[in-house]
Chain A
Amino acid sequence: MEHYLVAMGVTAGIYAMMALGMNVIWGMAGLINLGLVGFFAIGAYTSGLLTLKLGWPIPLGILAGMAAASVSGVLVAMITVRLRGDYLAIVTLGFAETMRVVMSNELWIANGTDGLSGIPGPFRQALGPHLFNLQFLGIVVAVTVILFFLVERLVHSPFGRVLRGIRDDEQIVAVAGKNVVMFKVKAFAFGTAALGLAGALYGHFTSFIAPDLFAPLLTLYVKLSLLAGGLGNSIGAVVGAVLVVFFLESTRFIIPWVPGISAVQGAALRELLIAIALLVVLRFYARGLVPERIAQPQLPSTPAQASLVIGKST
C-alpha cells in the first residue's frame, strides 16, 4: 500500500505543478488555455529525446523541456493575442490536438504512435522500483514547493497585480499605460514553462511517453483541480490537484463495495461520481474550496476619515 501511495504522491505532485502553471495563465491572467496537455507533451518529448538519443544529463534535459514549452507558449500567445474567452479556449485545444497528431505521424524523431520507451530516470537501476519512486517523490515535492513560492512571489508582485487587472478588465489596464500584450505573453511564458517542467518530470518518472498520453483527459483533470481548489490561488491549485488524484484513486476502492453492479457499470459509475463531485463543488463552492484572497483596500467610512487618509498619503 505504501508504495502505491508514494506513486500516487508523485502523480499528485505533477498534477499540482500543472495546476500551478495553469493558475498563472488562467487563474491570474484570465486566459482560458485548454492546450495544457500540448505544452506538457512538448516538455516530455524534448527532455525524453535529448536524454535518450543524445545522452544529455537529466537536469539539463528537464531545463531544455521547460525552455521548449515556454518558447512554444510564447508563440501560441502571440498568435492568439486577439482572442479571448471561448475563442482562445478552442484555439488552444486545437493546438494540443495538433501536437498529438504531429507526434502520432512523425516517425523519424518522435517514433510515431509507438512513442518513446526507456527514458532514463535518475538512478533507476541502482535504486530499484520502490526506492526510485520514493526518491522521485522527494524530487517532485521539492520542485512543487519551489514552484509554489515562485508563483506566490508572482501573485504579490506588481506583475501579478497587472495580470489580475487584465483578467478583470483589460481596457482599464491598457488605459493605465500597461502593455497588455506583453503581460499576456509573459504569463504564457511562465505558465507553459511550469507545464513543460511537469511533462519532463513525468517522462523521466514513468520511462514511457506516447502521443495517446496527451489526450484532452489530462487537461480536464487539471482544470478540475483548479476549479475544485480555487482559481487564482496557489494553495488552492495544490490542494485541488491532491484532492483530484485522491478522488480519482479513492473511487477505485469504493466501487467494489457498491452491491449489484458489474465491473463495466462500476467504471461508468466512477466517471459519474467524478462529474457529481465537480457539480457539488461548483454549486456550493463556486470559487473553489480555498477561494482567492484579494486584499481589499480599507475604504474610509466617512468623508472626514477620507480626507485624513488622503492627507496621510500625500
Chain B
Amino acid sequence: MLKTTRRKVLKGAAALATTAALPKGAYAQGEPIKIGILTPLTGAGGNDGPRMLKAMTAVFEEVNKQGGVLGRKIETVVEDDQTNPEAAVRAARKLIEVNKVPMILGTWASAVTAAVAPVCWESKTFLMTVSGADSITLLPHQGFLIRTQPTSKLQATAHGEFLWAQGGRKVAIIGIQAPFAMANKEHLEATLKPKGGEIVSHIIYEKDKPTYRSEIDQMMRGKPDYIYTNGYAPDTVVLLRDMFRAGINLPKFAQSYAVPQPTLDTIPAEVSANVFTGQPSADIESPAYKLAAARIGEKEPDGYVSQATDWASLAVLTIAKAKAVSGVAMKDNVRKICQGSGQKVYSAVEGLKVLAEGKEINYEGASGPCDFTDIGDILGCRFRYMHVVKGKLEFLKLV
C-alpha cells in the first residue's frame, strides 16, 4: 500500500533538492551539444519542413561521423511548429527552457518566425530562418537572428531581370496573401518599368482554396504575356491545374520551393509545361550545392533544402570557431566564419578541418555565399533558374 507520509514527502523533497544542487560538471565531458530544430511538420508548411529537417540531419550526421565538434557529438531536438504561431511559441519555449538549446533552426512561415523571434532574443537564443518578409529582420532582435532567404527586394529584382530576358513584357502577378506579397509586386514593377515592361494585373488570393479559376480569369483580363506566380507548393499546384484547364499556355514563373520535384511528380507533365523556377544559389562552380544534393540524394535540391543545409553547417562551424556553445557565442561569431577573406570552404566537415589547422574560413553555402548584414539579411546571392521539361526540373541558367 502506497502511503504518503510527511517523512516520505520530506525525504523526496530533500532528494530532489540534492539532484538540483549537483554541479553541471558532474556530467561527462563529452555530453552532446543540443541543437533545436523547429520546422513545420504538419499544417501548410508540412510539405517543406520534413525536407529541411532531413537536410539538417544529414549535415549533423556527417559531422558526427567525423567526431563531432569540440569533441562532442551533435544531438538534435526536433519540435513541430504546426505552421501556427501559437503552437510554435509553445514549442520554442519547450526547446529553450527544457532542452536549453543555444539555437533554433528552421522556422518557415513569416508569422511563425515573428512570433518565435521575441521568445528567442529575450532568452538569448539564436534563430535561423527562411522567412522572406522584409519586416522580420527589422524586429529589434539584437543580432540573435539571421535568415538565408534573400529579402523581397533582392528576389523580386532578380526575378524581374529574368522575366525581361525571357521576353516578359506584360507581366501578370498572381500570389498568396503573405507579408511578401506587396513588396514583391513593388520591386518587380520597379525593375520592369524602366525597361518598358509593365505589370498588367496583380491578384492576391487566399490560401487553402480548392480552385483559383475566378482569380485566373480576373488575371487574364490584363492580357499578360508572362505569368509570375508567388505562392507556396499546395496552392501553386492548384493554380497550375486551373491554368491548364483554362487553356492558358503562357510561360509561368514560380519560386523553386513552390514547384519542387516531389510535387511535380504528382501532376501530369502537360500541367507543368512551360514553368520556370528560380532560387537563390551559390556560384556554379561552388561544390556546396552538389555536396548538398549528394548528401540527401536529390538531383536538384530546392531553395529551402539548400538553406537548411547552410544553417546546419553555419551552426557547426560557429561553435567550432567560438569554442563555446551559447546563443551569444553564435551571435558574436557567426559572421567570422561565413564572410571575410578566410579560406573558402563548402561543407561543415571541410570547414572543421581548416579551422583545426588554425586558419580563418569563409563558408560558401549551397544557397549562396552566406554573407550577412548587421541586421541578419544576406548581402547578395546568385539565382539559379530551372525549366520544367516533361515534368522534370532541368537546369537553365545561373545569373
Contact = CB atoms under 8 A, between A and B. Distances in A.
Interface of A: 1, 3-4, 7-8, 11, 101, 104-105, 107, 112-115, 117-118, 129, 206-208, 210-213, 215, 217-218, 248-249, 252, 263-264, 266-268, 270-271
A253 B89 CA distance: 16
A213 B94 contact: no
Interface stretch (B62-70, B110-118, B386-394): B110-118
Interface of B: 37, 41-42, 49-50, 53, 78-80, 82, 84-87, 89-91, 93-94, 96-98, 109-112, 114-115, 117-119, 122-123, 133, 135, 139-140, 177-179, 181-182, 204, 206
A107 B182 contact: yes
B97 A4 contact: yes
A208 B141 CA distance: 13
Contacts, number: 102
Contact of A252 (B42, B79, B139, B206): B79
A118 B91 CA distance: 20
A212 B53 contact: no
Contacts of A215: 84
B177 A104 contact: yes
A206 B93 contact: no
A273 to B, nearest CB: 13
B90 A114 contact: no
A129 B123 contact: yes
A268 B79 CA distance: 12
B84 A206 contact: no
The majority secondary structure among interface residues of chain B is helix
Contact of A206 (B78, B112, B115): B115
A114 B133 contact: yes
Contact of A129 (B53, B78, B85, B122): B122
B312 to A, nearest CB: 15
A11 B90 contact: yes
A113 B178 contact: yes
Given A107-B182, A248-B90, A267-B80, A113 B118 contact: no
A115 B94 contact: no
Given A208-B115, A212-B84, A4 B94 contact: yes
B94 A252 contact: yes
Contacts of A268: 41-42
B84 to A, nearest CB: 6
Contacts of A263: 37, 41, 50, 53, 78, 80
Given A105-B177, A206-B118, A212-B109, A7 B93 contact: yes
Contact of B80 (A8, A115, A270): A270
A217 B110 CA distance: 18
